Amino acid sequence: MKRPLVLAFDIGTQSTRVMLIDQFGNILNKIQKQYEQPYYSQHPGWAEQKPYVYWETMKQTCQELAKTSKDDWKDIICVTCTTIRDTCVCLDEFYMPLRDVIVWLDKRKASCCKDIPLINRILFKLVGMQEAVQLQKEVSYCNWIEENQKDIWKKTHKFVLLSAFLNYLMTGNLKDSKASSIGHIPFDNKRGDWMKKNDLTRCIFNVRDEQMCELTDPGDIIGYITKEASQCLCVPENTPLIATGSDKGCETLGLSVVSEDKAALSFGTTATIQFMTRKYMEPLPFLPAYSAVLKGFYNPEIQIYRGFWLISWFKDQFCEKEKNEAMCKSLIAEDVLNEKMKDVPIGCDGLLCNPYFTAGVSMPVAKGAFIGLSDMTTKYHIYRSIIEGINFALYEGKLVMEKRGRKKINSLYLAGGGSKSPEICQITADIFGLPVHTIQTNEAGALGSAIVAFTSQKVFNSIQEAIDAMVHVKHVYMPDASNHKKYMKIYHTQFIKIFSKLLPLYRKNL
């Protein structure tokens, strides 16, 4: 063995990536494959996917990686798999899917005709949780399936997240990491285990205790690659699969955000701001902090559901010219847009983007909006306003979490597609008024899972030792004080007032 390597899968909304990572944080080889479609919608607001799409893509990417990795392949010491969150699978008694996967973007709602027990209703009302609980009950996929697909629910032996299903396909063990257990499931984030029958919010989820899978701590061995999985993935049989965590949680660790003065910004399909804390704190009332990949810690998070998906949406709808120009120059369309964006001033000549294109728990009736369009507005104004709008929303989340946690964030670390752009990184630094760090790779999620794996396999003595060896700051974008002042004027006098002003219209479903 020349050097130990981790084989890391990162299962995203739009693609699967698999890579080989060494103990210095180098990605030696990587294969990425897009799904034919990230999801399909039988009805407006629905998002489903064929359950084996993820597995088939894992097989294809891993086989190709094996062919192109030559001698490195024999140095694999373990496998990790980080996935998207809140993506649910119904399994029968033989652990075969009973229906297509419901993807986290799905916005269907159950009618929830069954009343919550009276004592719970009284307690929820006393603490002001009644509305939040009702919404959580309506948007929980398990409740919708029980109401609308009764035969399937009766046959559902296990109701699991995508991460557990893929773990089973690789090892034959239906287990999941506590740090992957994020979604509309009866998981107690503070305790790091399934809810007990007498827990106050257990009544929200119509999942029976026996329908839930076994949980394990990050760093534990979930199981070993089976003979069948070995043939599918070209990975040696009996290679250990190490429990890590969700995509966002692994990104936070992979960015080295393990102290309370740092925050991780993820500029992916969903845009998030997240940090790590030893003390449990809810980022918003009744919104849990998630179990971190670092055992004993939590990840408070605020998210913009349609984060940098908005860039993809904008590009597909309005930027055919830029796509063609990029193709001729062997670039991507975002490179062309970022160059054009430089000519647009801060504040986009009065154009503001309200980036809540998909409603969330804290904003259940929100919609997106562009405000301040004029005869001088160009597509590049709109593009920049999207980037500024997402950052304003995340900045607001930072302020809320700092206040609730009585903490002060002093530096930012970026991951996701948006972090590849120096222009976007500089806008982020200027809006937040904080240094923005990018690291040596855009694959922070896979890197974070590899950090856990190497530590688990005793290549490092601690997570911090692994971080020191594997995470390397590539660039620091310092904020421009003058630009920050301009942005703060826009934020305080305009941006934070948009939602409340538009809320009456949103409630009328306009």
Q: Name the band, by pLDDT with cuts 50, 70 and 90, for residue 1.
A: low
Q: Name the band, by pLDDT with cuts 50, 70 and 90, for residue 417.
A: confident
**Residue, of 25 and 129, whose pLDDT is higher:** 25
Spatial separation of the C-alpha atoms in residues 224 and 55, rounded to whole Å: 17
On whether the CB atoms of residues 299 and 182 are closer than 8 A, the answer is no
Average pLDDT over residues 12-31: 97
The share of the chain scoring above pLDDT 70, in percent, equals 98
pLDDT value of residue 318: 92
At 457 the three-state DSSP class reads coil
Q: Is 509 exposed, middle or buried (0-12, 13-18, 19+ CB in 10 A)?
A: exposed
Average pLDDT over residues 36-65: 96
pLDDT in tens, 146-170: 999 999 999 999 999 999 999 999 9
Q: Which residues contact 393 (CB under 8 A, 6 or more apart)?
A: 271, 304, 355, 356
Q: Name the band, by pLDDT with cuts 50, 70 and 90, for residue 39.
A: very high
Spatial separation of the C-alpha atoms in residues 433 and 411, rounded to whole Å: 9
Minimal CA–CA distance to 45: which of 361, 393, 359, 508?
359
Question: Would you say residue 492 has pLDDT above 80?
Answer: yes
Stretch (H or E) spanning 312: helix 309-318
Q: Which residues contact 495 (CB under 8 A, 6 or more apart)?
A: 352, 389, 392, 396
Stretch (H or E) spanning 22: strand 15-22
Minimal CA–CA distance to 365: which of 138, 87, 185, 42?
138
Which domains, and CATH codes, for the chain? 5-242 (3.30.420.40)
The share of the chain scoring above pLDDT 90, in percent, equals 81
Spatial separation of the C-alpha atoms in residues 103 and 421, rounded to whole Å: 28
The DSSP secondary-structure symbol of 40 reads B
Lowest mean pLDDT, pick from 16-20, 124-128, 394-398: 124-128
pLDDT in tens, 462-487: 999 999 999 999 999 999 999 999 99
Minimal CA–CA distance to 240: which of 228, 222, 227?
222
Question: Would you say residue 373 has pLDDT above 80?
Answer: yes
On whether the CB atoms of residues 256 and 262 are closer than 8 A, the answer is yes
Spatial separation of the C-alpha atoms in residues 446 and 21, rounded to whole Å: 8
Q: Which residues contact 104 (CB under 8 A, 6 or more apart)?
A: 13, 47, 84, 85, 86, 87, 183
Over the Cα atoms of the chain, what is R_g? 22
Q: Name the band, by pLDDT with cuts 50, 70 and 90, for residue 359.
A: low
Average pLDDT over residues 484-510: 87
pLDDT value of residue 229: 98
Minimal CA–CA distance to 396: which of 432, 351, 353, 438?
432
pLDDT value of residue 434: 98
At 103 the three-state DSSP class reads coil
pLDDT value of residue 65: 98
Spatial separation of the C-alpha atoms in residues 407 and 415, rounded to whole Å: 22
Average pLDDT over residues 417-431: 94
Question: Would you say residue 360 has pLDDT above 70?
Answer: no
On whether the CB atoms of residues 347 and 490 are closer than 8 A, the answer is yes
Both tokens of 328, joined, read 């001729």
Q: Name the band, by pLDDT with cuts 50, 70 and 90, for residue 115.
A: confident
Q: Name the band, by pLDDT with cuts 50, 70 and 90, for residue 510.
A: low
Average pLDDT over residues 432-441: 98
Lowest mean pLDDT, pick from 12-21, 276-285, 390-399, 434-443: 276-285
Minimal CA–CA distance to 203: which of 282, 284, 276, 142?
142
Average pLDDT over residues 403-412: 93
Question: Would you say residue 489 has pLDDT above 70?
Answer: yes
For residue 205, count other CB atoms closer than 10 A to its CB: 22
Whole-number average pLDDT of the chain: 94
* Residue type at position 85: R
Q: Name the band, by pLDDT with cuts 50, 70 and 90, for residue 357.
A: confident
pLDDT in tens, 254-291: 999 999 999 999 998 889 999 999 999 999 887 899 99
pLDDT in tens, 192-222: 999 999 898 999 999 999 999 999 999 999 9
pLDDT value of residue 96: 98
In degrees rounded to 5, what are phi and psi of residue 414? -110, 140
Q: Name the band, by pLDDT with cuts 50, 70 and 90, for residue 379.
A: very high
Minimal CA–CA distance to 45: which of 107, 88, 104, 101?
107
**Residue, of 2 and 125, whose pLDDT is higher:** 125
pLDDT value of residue 364: 67
pLDDT value of residue 499: 83
